[in-house]
Homo-oligomer: A and B are copies of this chain.
């Protein structure tokens, strides 16, 4: 089943660009292949072990009545096992493994044993707590958990051809549809997730009831009086079709708004799609970090106001970057608009990737864009969902969390990543992301188009696309020109022309085998500025190159506090390939001014002029943001002061 889709829009009438299934995308080498291999060969196993030692797997055995003892952990912990199953299924599809398959089968067997005869399943609401079922949809995540089960079941079937998990999933979904609906309980879950799951299950089964229930759940939010809390936190403050601002819990919003776009591709409801786009504009045009991170507030793990984007206290949960990728992928499929592919790429190379260590086995929950050298405890108010965290220089990736949503979320993203690279529409093949390797795309008319890409992207902007095989009729190739790629050009058979950043360059012709397209994306070092209303970034710039956002970290600046470094017109920033640093990456080096800085200075004093006093200059090395916190702990900055010397 190598052609397993992550998002199967083959029969979605209102989709514009249908993703090419990841099984048709070969990613043999390069940036993402390395990371997928590490997650597949190491990260997945470590996550499984965490599920074992933390009792997440034992909970199913107990719910099945095969093991004594009390439920361990938090009531939503089943969802981590389901997300691991989804990730493992994608892993099996790419690289068969007897050991991994045995683990997957063992988990499925335990889930099967724990499922109630009516299809309900939740290992917490079992045994003595059976009667608590659905007592508190606002907080207790039962439909959220079953949503992840459904996503896992769909992925497992598509990846392995087995119905073993899928049958469980259909029973669970049928139970949900029988319990909730116009004739049943009319309430949503406090944490979205079931909606995305039911839309995709509808596609997999062809049963329109699942899509209808997905839309039903979408429309249970924001009722008057409220079905849940009425709070933004639960996305319950307004009907989803009327929501205008990305408020409340950021992960919840990304899952919800992704489902709105997703359902619209099947139902054709413009209202749902438009509302999702409105929320996207709020989120990504006024409330997103330059890294693609979402969520400006620890409190409520929430979006902030427009332009409220603190760097040191960015929450930017890894799951929100991943959820944002799901959302952008669906809006891209629904519209073909390159802006969604741009933000998808930003989150991929920065806000999501930063969430995982180079060995694939340690994870960030929150992702600040600035850290001071002093570790700071963050138990200040009892973060309900991520446990005590260190901020500042003490902020390090952890092997697991009490609330472990992020680790398997990044795993399922990485192991399905090739599914985000290509799309098809009638007569056209779209290239959204540039991964070296080949694709065997089936166009909607069933004809095959098989180009191959050679590139060192993101370190190099040269992308060569060779058509290996193509139909003997005109096919449009649509190549994404990233929004940052000012000066990009495309050469086809000796003719080079400029292409427009932030769009898809289109070439339609009858392709002969061996034809090469040479895309040149300028990889100059860029200084990025924020909208002036972003108060946190007044007087500061970020360093970027291609899709990669950079940061400066204490480990590269033993002589100077990174706080004190100041960029200016003479900084002369240049890229340097560093094949031996942190698995191989490109650093940016140059000169920085060193501001006079003395920690014993007064907190407030008379203003002495706009330009900081400099003690001299020093060499500056910036590394990709995703790579920070892998060496000696210390301060980090994405946004760096800039002064005209």
Contacts and interface: CB of A to CB of B under 8 A. Distances in A.
Interface of A: 231-233, 237, 247-249, 284-286, 288, 290, 297-308, 310-313, 370, 372, 374, 376-377, 379-383, 391-392, 486, 526-536, 538-542, 563-564, 595-597, 599, 601-612, 641-644
Contacts of A285: 602-603
A570 to B, nearest CB: 13
A33 to B, nearest CB: 29
Contacts of A643: 610
A641 B370 CA distance: 21
A267 B532 CA distance: 54
Contact of A312 (B308, B370, B607, B612): B308
A380 B604 contact: no
A247 B377 contact: yes
Contacts of A606: 486, 526-529
B644 A609 contact: yes
A538 B639 CA distance: 11
A313 B308 contact: yes
A233 B381 contact: yes
A300 B540 CA distance: 29
Nearest to A298: B299
27 contacts: A233-B379, A233-B382, A237-B377, A247-B380, A299-B380, A299-B381, A300-B382, A301-B381, A303-B380, A304-B312, A308-B312, A310-B310, A310-B536, A311-B535, A372-B533, A486-B606, A528-B604, A529-B606, A530-B603, A531-B601, A531-B603, A531-B604, A532-B563, A532-B595, A539-B641, A610-B644, A611-B644
Given A285-B602, A529-B604, 18 more contacts: A288-B603, A297-B298, A299-B381, A299-B383, A301-B381, A304-B313, A304-B376, A308-B313, A312-B535, A528-B605, A529-B608, A531-B602, A531-B604, A532-B563, A536-B536, A538-B641, A541-B607, A610-B644
Contacts of A377: 232, 237, 247
B233 A286 contact: no
Contacts of A284: 603
A489 to B, nearest CB: 18
Contacts of A380: 231-233, 247-249, 297, 299-300, 302-303
A66 to B, nearest CB: 35
A288 B603 CA distance: 8
B541 A538 contact: no
Q: Top 8 A-B pairs ranked by shortest CB distance?
A: A300-B381, A539-B539, A300-B380, A302-B380, A527-B607, A305-B376, A529-B607, A299-B299
Contacts of A538: 538-540, 641
A153 B178 CA distance: 63
A378 to B, nearest CB: 8
A535 B532 contact: no
B313 A310 contact: yes
A313 B305 CA distance: 10
B539 A370 contact: no
A307 B604 contact: no
Given A376-B305, A382-B233, A540-B538, A532 B597 contact: yes
A225 to B, nearest CB: 16
